[in-house]
Structure 1
Amino acid sequence: MLVFVVNKHGEALMPCPPRKARMLLNEGKAKIIGYQPFSIQLLYGSSGYKQSVKVGTKLGEKHIGIAVTSGDCVLMKGEVELRTDVKSLLETRKIYRRIRRQRKTRYRKARFLNRKKPKGWLPPSLESRTANTFRWINRFSSLLPNPTLHIEIGKFEVQKLINLSVGGVSQQLSNSEGYYNTRYFVFARDNYTCQVCKKKNKIVNTHQIISRTQGGSDRADNLITVCTDCHTSDNHRPGEIFWQWMQDGKKLRSYKEPPFTNSSRSRVYEQYPNVIISYGSETTSHRKLIGLEKSLVNDAIAITGISAIMRITGTTFMAKQFRKKKRSLHEATARKGRKQPNTNSRRNSKNTKASKGFFLNDEVQTRCGNIGYISGFTGKNACYVKSINGDYIVISGKTHKQQPLKGLVRRSHQGNWRYRLLHDA
Structure 2
Amino acid sequence: MSNFVFVLDTNKQPLDPIHPGQARRLLSSKKAAVYRRYPFTIILKHLSLEPNSTPSQINTSASLGVDPERSRRVKIDPGAKVTGLALLQGEKVIWGAELTHRGFAIRDALLTRRSFRRGRRSRKTRYRQARFLNRTRPQGWLPPSLLSRVENILTWVKRLIQFCPVSSIVPELVRFNTQLMPDPTRQKEGYQQGTLYQYEVREYVLEKWGRKCAYCGVENVPLEVEHIHPRSRGGSNRPSNLTLACVPCNQAKGNQDIRDFLSSKPDLLKRILSQAKRPLADAAAVNSTRYALLNALKKLGLPVTTGTGGQTKYNRAVQGVSKTHWHDAALVGETPQLQFLTNNPLLITAKGHGVRQRVITDKYGLPKQHRGRFKLSHGFKTGDIVKASIPKGKYAGHYDGLRIAIRTKPSFALYPKNGGKQFDTHCKYLNTIHKADGFAFSFVGGDSSSA
The alignment's TM-score, normalised by the length of structure 1, stands at 0.62
Q: CA deviation at 1:276?
A: 1.1
Q: Which moved more, 1:4-13 or 1:354-363?
A: 354-363
Any idea what SS the aligned residue of 1:157 has? Answer: coil
2:358–2:370 CA contact under 8 A, matched in 1: no
- Kindly state the Cα deviation for residue 422 of structure 1 after the two structures are TM-superposed: 2.9
Displacement of 1:26: 4.8
Aligned to 2:94: 75
SS of residue paired to 1:41: strand
Q: Is 1:258–2:283 an aligned residue pair?
A: yes
1:88 aligns to what? 108
- Cross-structure match for 1:42: 44
**How big is the shift at 1:410?**
8.3
What is the CA-CA distance between 1:152 and the residue it aligns to?
Answer: 0.9
| Aligned-partner Cα distance in 1 for 2:371–2:414 | 18
1:135 counterpart = 2:155: yes
Native 8 Å contact 2:308 2:333 kept in 1: no
Kindly indicate whether residue 371 of structure 2 is the aligned counterpart of residue 347 of structure 1: yes
CA gap of 1:242–1:411, structure 2 versus 1, over 3 A, is: farther
Query: What secondary structure does 1:158 align onto?
Result: coil
Any idea what the Cα deviations from partners look like across 1:77-130, whole Å, max 9, x if unmatched? 12110102111111222233345557889xxxx977972211210111111111
CA contact (8 A) 1:153 1:261 kept: no
Letter in 2 for 1:3: V
Residue number among 312, 318, 324 corresponding to 1:283 in the alignment: 312
Q: Does 1:417 align with 2:428?
A: no
Q: Who is 2:336 aligned against?
A: 307
CA positional deviation for 1:244: 10
* Of 77, 82, 91, the match for 1:63: 82
2:419 corresponds in structure 1 to: 393
Task: Output one character per residue of 1:371-416: Cα deviation in whole Å (capped at 9) or x when no partner.
Answer: 8756899x998968476xxxx834xxxxxxx443369998855442
Which residue does the alignment assign to 2:222?
Answer: none
Partner Cα separation in structure 2 for residue 371 and residue 39 of structure 1: 16
Q: Displacement of 1:59 after TM fit?
A: 0.7
* Alpha-carbon contact 1:362-1:410 (below 8 Å) kept: no
Q: Deviations over 1:292-317 (max 9, x none)?
A: 12221211121264423445214211
SS in 2 for 1:272: helix
8 Å CA contact 1:324–1:360 kept in 2: the answer is no
Aligned residues: 334
Q: Is the 8 A contact 1:69 1:304 kept in 2?
A: no
The 8 Å contact of residues 381 and 405 in structure 1, kept in 2 or not, is answered as yes
**Which amino acid is the alignment partner of residue 148 of structure 1?**
S
Opposite residue 67 of structure 1, the aligned amino acid is: A
Tell me the equivalent position of 2:324.
295
3-state DSSP class of the match of 1:298? helix
SS in 2 for 1:315: coil
Is the 8 Å Cα contact of residues 75 and 313 (structure 1) preserved in structure 2? yes
- Go from structure 1 to structure 2 and tell me whether the alpha carbon gap of 1:100 and 1:41 turns closer, same or farther (over 3 Å shift): farther
Partner of 1:145: 165
C-alpha separation in 2, matches of 1:139 and 1:276: 19
Question: Take 2:184 and 2:343, find their aligned partners in 1: how far apart are those partners?
Answer: 43
**Normalised TM-score (structure 2):** 0.59
Structure 1 residue matching 2:180: 3-state secondary structure: helix
Please tell me whether the aligned partners of residues 172 and 308 of structure 2 are also in contact (alpha carbons under 8 angstroms): yes
Moved more, 319-328 or 276-285: 319-328
Structure 1 312/245 Cα, relative in aligned 2: closer, same or farther at 3 Å?
Answer: farther
Q: Deviation of residue 12 (structure 1)?
A: 1.5
Structure 1 counterpart of 2:337, which letter? A
Aligned residues of 1:375 and 1:386 also touching (Cα < 8 A): no
